Amino acid sequence: MSNHAIVVEQTGGLDAMSWKEVETLEPGSGEIRIRHHAIGLNFIDTYFRSGLYPATTPFTPGNEGAGEVIAVADDVTRFRVGDRVAYTIGLGGYAEERNLPADRAVAIPDGVSYELAAVAMLKGLTARYLLCETYKVTKDDTILFHAASGGVGLIAGQIARHIGARVIGTASKGKHDLAKAHGYDELIDYNNEDFVQRVKTLTDGTLCDAVYDSVGRTTLMKSLDCLRPRGFLVSFGQSSGKVEPFDLGLLSQKGSLYVTRPTLYHYIADRQSLDEAASQMFGWLADGTVKIEIGQRFALKDAAEAHRALEARETKGASILLPD
Ligand SMILES: NC(=O)c1ccc[n+]([C@@H]2O[C@H](COP(=O)([O-])OP(=O)(O)OC[C@H]3O[C@@H](n4cnc5c(N)ncnc54)[C@H](OP(=O)(O)O)[C@@H]3O)[C@@H](O)[C@H]2O)c1
């Protein structure tokens, strides 16, 4: 069967992505070949396409997906042809078929669809490690989570509710009801309201134990002002642009604050961490703790339209790309 993929020859705008027939290689040592059934769309894909994050060209974007194993290298024992698997790794996802290391794939449990499994891997595992590992949220905490109605945001709200924390979200106005239905206690329209002031009011001046900021340039400095003394800022993305460098002395002035800039791949670097993270996430999907609604579906070959919608803030929740 022929294989097609989105290829970026040179980084840039939406037209940097083209739909091409690509060579089908046999899986190399330790690899499996999968035929995608669903591919997760993520904001990080736009960073690679635009050149904000470096990648050697030409490349195929896409960091998460799910599909059926269609070939395995002789030395692979973990999977067999016909198995359903999901993964998150750097690049290569926007393709009908792809090879990937078997030790980076996880089996999809019965009852979990390819679509949900694809979205659970990067967006789901991110929400999980942020709240359960980077800063361990407790039931006594109040946290602020920016972009509450995004792909990661809607999953994070449900995990925070499961933990029992109070969770305040920010989002564009038309997306508040959705976030409330996914665990958020209060929503702030950060495009039109001073979110620092609203956080002060909502918490009677006690502020937040942790702030999760993936918006970056337009929010990060104000996020520091939403933290109690010795509070924890998790800067995990830059949807509005790169964060400007700042003087570390500010952290002491603002209350001996902690700041970290984590990335998922350091939290699932070894097989045991990947298995534990995926098994907890799939468990939450199975028992209904986390419900993931797919907000948008795009044909894989229309990835440019998907990027346009994501960057224009038109999407809600998770988006996926579907091969024909
Ligand atoms: N570090 C990690 O391990 C890691 C892993 C996965 C994702 N991430 C980061 O997490 C964030 C969320 O990822 P996602 O894929 O789930 O995306 P998303 O949240 O579905 O989409 C981004 C959202 O950010 C908000 N936003 C605020 N200012 C924006 C601007 N100027 N331009 C575009 N959007 C803006 C928009 O929501 P409103 O309209 O409500 O403002 C938009 O829908 C991204 O920054 C991503 O890079 C980090």
Residue 240 Cβ < 6 Å to ligand 1 = yes
How many A from CA of 129 to the centre of ligand 1?
Answer: 16
Please list, in sequence order, all residues whose beta carbon lies within 8 angstroms of the beta carbon of residue 27, skipping any fewer than 6 positions away: 33, 71, 72, 73, 76, 99
Q: Are 144 and 196 in contact (CB under 8 A)?
A: no
Residues in the chain: 324
Give all domains of the chain, ordered by start, each with its CATH number.
3-121+269-322 (3.90.180.10), 139-261 (3.40.50.720)
Q: How far is the CA of 215 from the centre of ligand 1 (A)?
A: 6
294: tokens are 């797919």
Residue 132's closest CA among 19, 29, 212, 244? Answer: 212
What integer pLDDT is reported at residue 68 of this predicted model? 98
Q: Would the CB of 122 count as within 6 Å of ligand 1?
A: yes
Please name which of 224, 276, 281 lies closest in space to residue 255, comparing C-alpha atoms: 224
3-state SS, residue 86: strand
* Whether residue 42 has its Cβ less than 6 Å from ligand 1: yes
With beta carbons less than 8 A apart as the criterion, state whether 53 and 133 touch. no
Buried b (16+ CB within 10 A) or exposed e, 257-266: bebeebebee
Ligand 1 pocket test, pick from 215, 217, 220 with the greatest ligand atom count within 8 Å of Cβ, gives 215
Q: What is the mean pLDDT of each run of 10 residues along the chain (324 residues)?
A: 91 97 92 98 97 96 98 97 97 97 97 96 98 98 98 98 98 97 98 98 98 98 98 97 95 98 97 98 96 96 98 97 95
What is the per-residue burial (b if ≥16 Cβ within 10 Å, else e) of 80-103? eeebbbbbbbebbbbbbbbbbbbe
Q: What is the pTM of this model?
A: 0.97
Joined together, the tokens standing for residue 136 give 């361990």
User: How many H-runs (helices) and E-runs (strands) does the chain carry?
Assistant: 10, 15
List the end-to-end C-alpha distance of the chain, in Å, as a whole number.
13
For the Cβ of 149 lying below 6 angstroms from any atom of ligand 1, the answer is: yes
* Closest residue to atom 43 of ligand 1, CA basis: 313
Structure-token pair, residue 184? 């958020």
Instruction: From the CA of 171, give the closest atom in ligand 1.
Output: 40
Atom of ligand 1 nearest to the CA of 237: 45
Atom 18 (ligand 1): residue with closest C-alpha? Answer: 150
- Taking a C-beta distance cutoff of 8 angstroms, is the pair 237, 43 a contact? yes
Atom of ligand 1 nearest to the CA of 190: 41
192 C-alpha to ligand 1 centroid (Å): 18
Alpha-helical segments (H) within 78-163: 114-119, 125-129, 151-163
What would the DSSP string read from start to end of 215-256? S-TTTHHHHHTTEEEEEEEEE---TT-PPPP--THHHHHTTS
pLDDT of residue 1: 59
Give me the pLDDT at residue 324, please. 86
* Ligand 1 nearest-atom number relative to CA 319: 20
